[in-house]
Structure 1
Amino acid sequence: MSDNLPGNDRNSNPVPPPPASSDAAHAPVAPSAPAYDPAATNHGAPAYNAGPVKPKGLALTALILGVLSLIFCWVPVAGAVGGLIALILGIIALRKGQSKGLSITGIITGAIALVIGAIVTIGFFLALSLGLSAVEECSNGAEMVEVAGQMVSCAGVN
């Protein structure tokens, strides 16, 4: 490096020397922070009160049961029964003044699950009765039976 650059001179010091006076009495003192006083920060304003917390157990149960019933509405009987219970719990929660959004959502999901579950359940039992009557006819010795407008062979039924 070159000797003529600033700061390369051994006699020059870039840091200024400390003050000549070491007397602590003349040194500036940092102001201390005031002590925390909660009463002083309130300034007479009333405290915020959100009011009593509304219970929402029935409404939440209706919502959860309604969603589960929608998921299981394709299972005969389960979707219809779960949807009916969710519908009833949602109506009770709404009348008791619980969470309106949860209650209405529980009512809607329960009603949809009830309708779909009822259709699936009715269809299941109709198909079951048709199948049982066909098996009964085959057991009585028929070679062919009619199931849902189609002729089915009784060869594999004993």
Structure 2
Amino acid sequence: MITFVWAEDKKHQIGYQGHLPWFLPADLKYFKKETMGHPILMGRKTFDSLPRVLPGRLHLVLTRSQEFKDKYRDNQQVIVFLNQEELFTYLKKHQNEDICAIGGVSIFKILRDKVDCLKRTVIDASFKADTEMPQIDYSQFNLVKEENHEADNKNEYAYSFLTYVRKDKDHG
């Protein structure tokens, strides 16, 4: 099963200069809760934006760089794919696992027709950004959970956690 996990602002923007355009501690906590114990799939730029290899999660990284693959060859927490075929072979072998795709845009685009579940954080604000979430046809999904939160002393912006399940995968 493939789950997209991401945050976006009101204009569907997800990044600025390789990082999140906002600081929202509640979303970081939510991201950790949703991805802990699951493989996280990302492109190399998203991997590079992480503060470190995140504990408790296998990192699956798609890149064209053999040098990058060689660098992480002996790291048990990182698997590097040099092309989509290698990635799709892995995903087919691990289709019973919940794999969390966390970005960037190229990962979301190549998996848009394969994703089963969407874990979307919507921040009730607009930010300076240079990266936008690829369009998703939400008519193919059912909204199964929605949590709305107001801004507070730790989180400067109101936000919502939305969970969608692909209609043909929704058995309940």
TM-score when scaled to structure 2?
A: 0.21
Identify the structure with bigger relative contact order (alpha carbons < 8 Å, sequence gap 6+): 2
Pick the structure with more strand per residue. Answer: 2
Pick the structure with more helix per residue. Answer: 1
Query: Which has the greater radius of gyration?
Result: 1
TM-score when scaled to structure 1?
A: 0.22
